[in-house]
Chain A
Amino acid sequence: MLPDELLEQLQTSFPCRELQIRQLSALYSARLPSPSLLTVYGLEATGKTSIVRGVLRANSIQHCIVNSRECITGRHLLERTVASCLDALDQYDDAEIDRKPYARCENISALVVHLQRMMEERTEKFVLVFDGIDRQREAPPTLLPSLARFGEMIPHLSILLITRFPLPLALHSPGAPHLPFPPYTRAESIHILSQSPPKIFLTPPDPEKFPDYTADLAAEDDAWLWGRFLGTVWDTMSKHVGRDLVSFRTTALRMWRPFVTPVVAGELGTRHFVRLMVRQRSLFQGEEPLLNRVVPKESRFKENIKDTLAVGTVKKKPLHLDTDILSLPHYTHYLLIAAYLASYNPARTDSTYFMTHADGRKNRRRVKNTPLSSSVSLSKSKNAKNHRRIPRHLLTPSPFPLDRLFAIFRSLVEGEREGSVPQTGDLLGMVRTLASLRLLVRAGVGGEVEGGGKWRVAFGWEWVRGIGRGVGVEVGEWLVGGVDG
C-alpha cells in the first residue's frame, strides 16, 4: 500500500478511480510479493493504462510497458519486449547491459530465455505490462497462455495484461486475477470532464466595454456553463451514442463552439442557460456531432447550424453529401444503378424488367402495384409473425457478370433518354475506375476486368437511391420486390 499522500495525489489526477488505485497499489507494492499474473480489463477510456503506469511509478516498482498497438507483428512484439525491458533495466541500474546476447528474439521460447537471463541476478521484482495485448496483430496462437505462465517460469517477474475484455478462457489458467475498470457513470463522466472547462470567449471581451469581467469571473462562468452543458450533452447524445469518456468529450467539444455562439455574439448572457438551450435545441437534435469524419465537414456543419431553424434540411442533407463528394460522370451514375440492380434482381426477372417487347415498352413499373407485393402481404398475414420476409435490399448483394451489367445499363440509359449510349463510352474503363473506388468489387479472385469474372456492388440501398434521384431514376421501381422506404 502506498502512503496516504501518494494515494491522494494519484486520486486527484485520476478522479473516480479510487478503488482501482487502491487495489493496484495493494497488489503491486514494494514490500509484498506481487501476483505473477494480473489482467486489468475495461472498455476503452476507462483509465487503465494511465492508472497502471501511475501506480507503478508511485510505488517505484521497476516496470516497462509494451504497447501492442505499436507492434505490427507478433515477432515485432517479442523484439520490442526484449528491447524495452533492456531499456528499462538500463535505466534502473544506470548501467549498460550488453545487448549482444539479446540480438534475436524469434519466438516465445526465446523471449522466455532472454527474460530469464535478464532476471537472473536481480532481486527486485520487475513488472512487465502488455498494453492492449488482446488486440495484437498476428499474435502467435499461444501468446496469451504462455504470457500467463511467464510469471511462474521466471522469478521476480510479474506480468500485467491490459485488455478490453476479461480473458478467462484465453489464458488457460483458472483463477487468474482480473481487475475490472468499469466504464464511468454519468456523474463520473461529467465530474471528470468538468475539471477542465473550455473557454466561452476565445478572445476575452473588450475590457473597455466590460471592465469588471475579470479572468476569474470568466473562468467561473466557463465552469458553470460547461457543467450544465455537459449534463445536457450526456442526456441527449452521449447516453445514446458513444458513451465512453473520450467520445463524450469529443462530442461535447464539437458542440461547444456552436452552442455558445449567441453568448459570444453578445445576444445572451453567460448565465442564461435555459434560454441558450431553447435557442440552440436544434443542435441537440442533429447527429452530426457524433460522427467522426475523415473529410472535414466544417463548412457544411456550420451551414447546417446557421439554418438550424429549418428542420428539414438536416434530414435531407446526407443524401446529397456523398454524391457531392464523388461528382462522378453522368453515365457512371447509370452504371452504378445498373450494378445495383444486377446485384439485387434475380437474373430470371431480367426479361420482364428490361427486355424490349414488340410494343417497344418495358413494363418496369409493374412492381409497385403488381399482385406480387399484395401476395407478400397476404402471406405475411397468413403466416402471422413467425415468417417475416427479409427485404432483399438488406441482404448481401449477389455477384453478377459484367455482360449482364452492361445489358442492364444499356436498357436503363436507352429507356430513359430514348437514345443510345455513345459509342465512345469506355464502359470497361468506367468499371475499372469504380473498382478502384471500391464501389464495385470482384466477387472471386483475380482483378482483371477483361477476365469476365463476377462482380458485386459495395454500396447500400440509401446511397443508390440518392444517386438515382440525382439523375432522375427511381431505383425502387426497377427493383424486384420493391422497397418500402
Chain B
Amino acid sequence: MDDSPRSSKRRKIETSACNGSSPVADKSSLKRVSSRIATRTASLTTIESLDENSSFIRKRKTANNTPNTRSRRRDEEDEKDVDVYDDFEGALESPISEKNSHQRRGVDKTSSAPHPSKSSRRTEPKKLDPTGELFSRLREKENKRLEVETKSIDAPDNVEAEFNLESAIQRDLDAQQSTLSGHKKGAKRTSGLENGSAMKKKESPATTGRRKTRRAVETDDDDNDELQQPKVVEASTPLRAQSIRARGSSSKAVANTANGIDEIAPMTPSRKSTQRHPVPKEQSAYFLPVQEVPKPARNARARRAANLADHTYNEDDIVPIPDTEDTELYVQLNDPGDGHSDIDGSSMLDPTEPSPFNVIRKEPVAAPIMHAEPISGHGLDLLKKIVMERITGKRPAPLVGLDADYQTVHQLVEHTVTAGEGNSMLLIGARGSGKTTLVNQVLSEVAKDNAEEFHVVRLNGFVHTDDKVALREIWRQLGKEMDLEEENGGIGKNYADTLTTLLALLSHPSEHTGQHTEQVAKAVIFILDEFDLFAMHPRQTLLYNLFDIAQSRKAPIAVLGLTTRIDVADSLEKRVKSRFSHRYIHLSLAKSFTAFQEICKASLIIEPNQLSTEEASLLSATPKLTPNKKSKKPPSSRDVLSEWNLNISALFASTSFLTTFLAPHYYRTKSPSAVLTSFLLPTATLTAPAGPLSTTSPSSSPSAPGPLTSTLHPPDSKLSLLPHLSTLSLSLLIAAARLDIIHDSDTCNFNMAYDEYVALASKAKIAASAGGAVGTGSTSKVWGKEVARREWEGLVEGGLVLPVLGGVGGGGGGFAMVKCDVSLEEIGEGIRGLKDKTMDRWCRQI
C-alpha cells in the first residue's frame, strides 16, 4: 500500500496540476502563510476555490465515465479532495508558531487518510443528484467530519451522528460503490490496522449504538496516537477558537453558495454548534429523521457553554439553536420571566443567568426543592441511600464537561498500563472542579479491561507530610498489592534502604539481571493528591525519584499530581522540573451558570445505567400500590427512579430555585459540592407516605424549619457571632473598632479598649439619666475592669480580636496588643436588629 510520504508527494504534484486549471487554488495556497488576521478572508477564498474545485471535478467526472479509468480517476479525485482539505485546513490554520502548524499539517495529512474512502462513497449520490447540491452538502459535512477526526476529542457523539448520516447515505449507494470504497480503504492502511478495521466497520450500515461508540473511541484513540503532541498544545487556545470561528463562517459560506436557501444561517461561531447543529438539520431535511439520543445534546450544551467565556457570550450564541433536543434549555432561555426582565441593558451578562442584577423573585425557595408529591414505593430507601452516597461522594458522580480532559488522562494511563510508558502529568484545578472524580473514573475505566496489570498508589499531601512517611506508605500500599512479606522488606529500615528496594521493585527486571527479558513489570499509577505539598518537602526527593523513573523508562509508572495551585511547577526544583513531562491539565470550575446547573443536576439525577443491575431492577420496578392508594392517585405508576429524576428536572427548571438558591452558589463559590451538601438533609428526611415519619418530615409540617434553611453551610464570616455576644463584649468590641479609626492604627490593647468603653458608657449613662430613663440597666451601667477583662478574653478566644504575633507584654496587665478583626461598619450592620440603639450610635459616630 502506498505510504504517506509517497502520497503526500503525489498530492503535491496533483496540486500543481490543479493549479493550472484553477488559479484560485493557487491563491489559497499562498494564503496559507498569510497572517492570522487574514485567516478569515483566506478561508473564504478557499471555500470559493473548493467550490470551483468540486465543480471542476464534477465536470471531469461527467466527461469520461469509463469503468476502467474510473478507479484511477477516483484516486485522483480523492487526492484532489485531500488536497482541497489540506488547503482548507492550511488556510484556516493560523501560522502562529511554525512548529505548531508544521505538526498540524502533518496531522492533517495523516488524519485525512481515512477520508477519501468516504468521499468516494459520497460522490455516488452526487452523480444521482443532478443539481449537485447534495454533493456540496456532503462536502461540507466532510469538512466537519474532518474537524471531528482531527481534533474533537469528544468524538463519540459527533461520530455517532455521523454514523446515522452515513447509514442513511448508504441506503442510496449501490453495491459497486461499496466495493470500490473498500478498495480505496486499502490504501488507507497507513494509519494502522486498528484504524483500518474501524473504517471497515463504519461501512456496515446497521450497527448497534454500543458498537458505534466503541468504534468511535477507537478512531479517536488512533487520532490521539498521531496527534498527541499537537493536541495537548492546541487545547482550546484562543488561536484555536479563532480558527474554529473562521471555519464556522466558511462552512456557512459553502452553504450559501451551494444552495440559495440559507438553512444553516443560525450557525454559531462556537465549535460545538458548527459541528453539530447543522448535521441534524440536514438529516431531517434530506434523510429520515433520525432519533437522536438526548445525551449528546446535553454534552454539546455543556461543552458549548464551557467553551465560551462567561461574559463574552452573546445572545445569538444560544438563542437560535435549531436542535430539538435542546428544548429544555430553550424553555429556560425563552422563559420570559426569567432573565429578560432586566431592562438596565446589562448586555454583558447572560440574561439566562439569574444574577443579583436581575429581578429576584420573592417566591419561597423551600417550595420547589422538595417534592410536593412524595415518592412512593419500596425503592425509596434504596433511592435515598443511592442519592446520599452520591452526595457524600461515596458513589462516583458523572463527569460533566470534562470529556476532553478525561480522554487525555485516560489515554495517558492506558498507555502506561498497556504499553509500559512512563508518564507524568499534573491536574490543576480549584477545589470542586472534579480532579479526583476524573482520576477515579479513569482508573475504574482502565481497570475494567486491565485490572490485573497495574497497581494504584494514592498519596495525599495532607496525610503524608514528609518524604519518609510517603515512601513508607508507598511501600505499604505496593506491598499490600504485590503480596510482599512485610517483615523483612524495606519497611522499618532507613530511608535509603527503602528507596533502593522500592526502586528495584519498580524497575524493569532486565535492569538488574542485565539480560533482556520479555517480562514486563506491572504498571504503577501514583496519584499524588495535594501535589503542591509534596513539592514543599525538603529536596523533593520523592518527586525527583518518581519523575526520574517515569522519564527514564525504568518502569512503567504514571505520576498524576492533583493540585489547586496554578504555579505549582515553579515550586519544583530544577532537576525535578526537568524530569517532569510538563503535561498539564487545567480543570476549571463551571464557566457559566448553565454549565453549573448541568453539573449539579447531573450529580443528582440518577441514570439507570449508573446503577448495578440489582439496584436498577429494584428501583425501576413499578411500585405495587395498595388499593386505597391507587384510588387516591391512579396515574402515578411511574417508578421511584424516574419520579426522582423528574422531580430533580422540575426543580432545575424552576426559576425561583435557580435564582434564589443556585445562583448565589454559582456567584459566590461555584462549588457543586456545596450545592450537593445542601441536598443532604432534604434527602435524608425524604419520607414515604406510608411510613411513620411522615409527621416529622419537613414538607408536611410547616412549622418545622424548611429544608433549605438548614443547608449545612458554614456562615460566611465571624459576623454571625455578633448577635450572640453579651452586651459588654459587644461594647468592648465596638470600642476596639473605634480605636482603630480614632488612633489610625490597627492595633490596640485591652486597656485602651476598656478606657474607650468607659468613656462611651459613662457618656451614655449621663445621657440616659438626663433623659430620665434611670435604671433601665442595659447600657447605663459601666462595668468594672475585671468583668470586662473576662469578656475581652472571650473575644480573643472567639477570634473577633486577634492577638498580634510578637506583641510584647502578654499576660498580666492587659497590654497584649491585638488587632480588631471586624470593622466598625460591619459591627453596625451586624447589630442592626438590636433594640438598644445606644450601641448602634457608637458604631455610627466617632
Contacts and interface: CB of A to CB of B under 8 A. Distances in A.
Contact of A33 (B394, B460, B790): B394
Nearest to B815: A396
B392 A36 contact: yes
A99 to B, nearest CB: 17
A4 B692 contact: yes
Contacts of A166: 714-715
A23 interface: yes
A396 B470 CA distance: 47
Contacts, number: 214
B749 A396 contact: yes
B260 interface: no
Contact of B469 (A109, A241, A291, A385): A109
Contacts of A179: 710, 712
Interface stretch (B205-213, B381-389, B504-512): B381-389
B799 interface: yes
B749 A395 contact: yes
A164 B797 CA distance: 10
B385 A32 contact: yes
Residue with the greatest number of chain B CB neighbours at <10 A, chosen from A22, A109, A242, A318? A109
Contacts of A460: 751, 812-815
B462 A146 contact: yes
A463 B813 CA distance: 9
Interface stretch (B182-190, B398-406, B724-732): B724-732
Interface string B657-688: 00000000000010111111100110011000
Contacts of B728: 240-241
B671 A174 contact: yes
A52 to B, nearest CB: 15
Interface in B56-76: none
B786 A109 contact: no
B343 interface: no
A38 B677 CA distance: 10
Given A36-B393, A166-B715, A460-B814, A177 B726 contact: no
B696 interface: yes
A69 interface: no
B26 interface: no
Contacts of B817: 396
A327 interface: no
B705 interface: yes
Interface residues of A, number: 86
Given A397-B809, A460-B812, A178 B696 contact: no
Contacts of B388: 32-33
A443 B811 CA distance: 13
Nearest to B458: A153
Contact of A32 (B462, B469, B684): B684
Contacts of B684: 1, 26-27, 29, 32
Contacts of A48: none
A155 B808 CA distance: 48
Given A19-B705, A240-B728, A290 B790 contact: yes
Interface stretch (B111-119, B128-136, B443-451, B777-785): B777-785
A122 B444 CA distance: 23
Contacts of A299: none
B204 to A, nearest CB: 45
Contact of A287 (B381, B669, B749, B783): B783
A151 B392 CA distance: 10
B394 A36 contact: yes
Nearest to A22: B696
Given A34-B392, A153-B460, A1 B712 contact: no
B674 A175 contact: yes
B472 A174 contact: no
Contact of A175 (B432, B465, B705): B432
Interface in A30-77: 31-36, 38-39, 41, 43
A35 B394 CA distance: 9
Interface in B711-746: 712-715, 718, 721, 724-728, 742-744
B714 A168 contact: yes
Nearest to B395: A33
Interface string A152-167: 1100000000001111
A243 B725 contact: yes
Interface in A447-469: 456-463
A285 B782 CA distance: 10
B462 A290 contact: no
A152 B744 CA distance: 48
B385 A31 contact: yes
A198 interface: no
Interface string B747-785: 001011001000000000000000000000110010111
B157 interface: no
B790 to A, nearest CB: 7
Given A290-B787, A290-B790, A459 B813 contact: yes
A15 interface: no
Contact of B692 (A3, A240, A456): A3
Interface string A129-172: 00000000000111001100101110000000000111110001
Contacts of A241: 726, 728, 783, 787, 790-791
B798 A165 contact: yes
B175 interface: no
Residue with the greatest number of chain A CB neighbours at <10 A, chosen from B394, B781, B785, B799? B394
A31 B465 CA distance: 36
B783 A39 contact: no
A112 B815 contact: no
Contacts of A240: 726-728, 778, 781, 783
A4 B696 contact: yes
A386 B744 contact: yes
Contacts of A243: 724-726
12 contacts: A19-B704, A35-B391, A36-B392, A109-B464, A109-B470, A146-B460, A149-B460, A168-B714, A242-B791, A291-B786, A395-B751, A462-B785
Given A1-B685, A240-B783, A397-B809, 7 more contacts: A26-B684, A164-B798, A172-B462, A174-B674, A239-B727, A241-B726, A287-B784
Top 4 nearest A-B pairs (CB, nearest first) are: A175-B673, A166-B714, A175-B674, A458-B812
Interface of B: 381, 384-385, 388-389, 391-394, 431-432, 458, 460-465, 469-470, 472-473, 476, 533, 669, 671-677, 680-681, 684-685, 692-693, 695-696, 704-705, 710, 712-715, 718, 721, 724-728, 742-744, 749, 751-752, 755, 777-778, 781, 783-787, 790-791, 797-799, 807-809, 811-815, 817, 846
Interface of A: 1, 3-4, 7, 19, 22-23, 26-27, 29, 31-36, 38-39, 41, 43, 107-109, 112-113, 140-142, 145-146, 149, 151-153, 164-168, 172-180, 182-183, 235-236, 238-243, 285, 287, 290-292, 318, 385-388, 390-391, 393-397, 438, 441, 443, 456-463
